[in-house]
Amino acid sequence: MYLPLLKFVARKYCTERDERDDCLAEAVLGFLRAIRTYNVHRGSLDGYIATVASHRLIDMARRAAGPHIELSDTLDGWGSSLGDPAEAGVPDMVALAVTLSDSERVCFERHLRGETLQVIAAGLKMSKASVSNALARAKRKLGKALS
């Protein structure tokens, strides 16, 4: 009965014909989980099934993309031992810093100094979630600029 819905969801996330069977299998596993965890008071069953199946397919795509490389892994080799940064292939740090907002830049600099989220949040009078979001945005922006 729900197979057309599952096929529709799978087609949204899997464009290659070769992987459609895998995507449909993941969607079915999402369907089974949705059936077990559905709460009548939280909305329609169809919508819940589509959401759970979609999240399962997004997780599959993330796993297929491979391990996430943290920006700090890329920055570990940077330092005074490099000599001239231009010769070492280090991007222009001024150009990179311009891409960040003030809060992203300050949070990222304090994070690089080893401060915890809680310490950064208290020092900047921000919530811990705001600091975490600013760090994530900074890492994403700098990661794109470094690649």
Which domains does the chain carry? 1-68 (1.10.1740), 91-146 (1.10.10)
What's the whole-model pTM score?
Answer: 0.45
Rounded Cα–Cα distance for residues 94 and 102 (Å): 13
pLDDT digits (tens, 9 = 90+) for 59-112: 887 777 665 545 444 444 444 444 444 454 444 554 555 577 888 888 888 888
Q: Is 86 in a helix, a strand, or coil?
A: helix
pLDDT digits (tens, 9 = 90+) for 3-42: 888 888 888 877 677 677 888 888 888 888 888 898 888 8
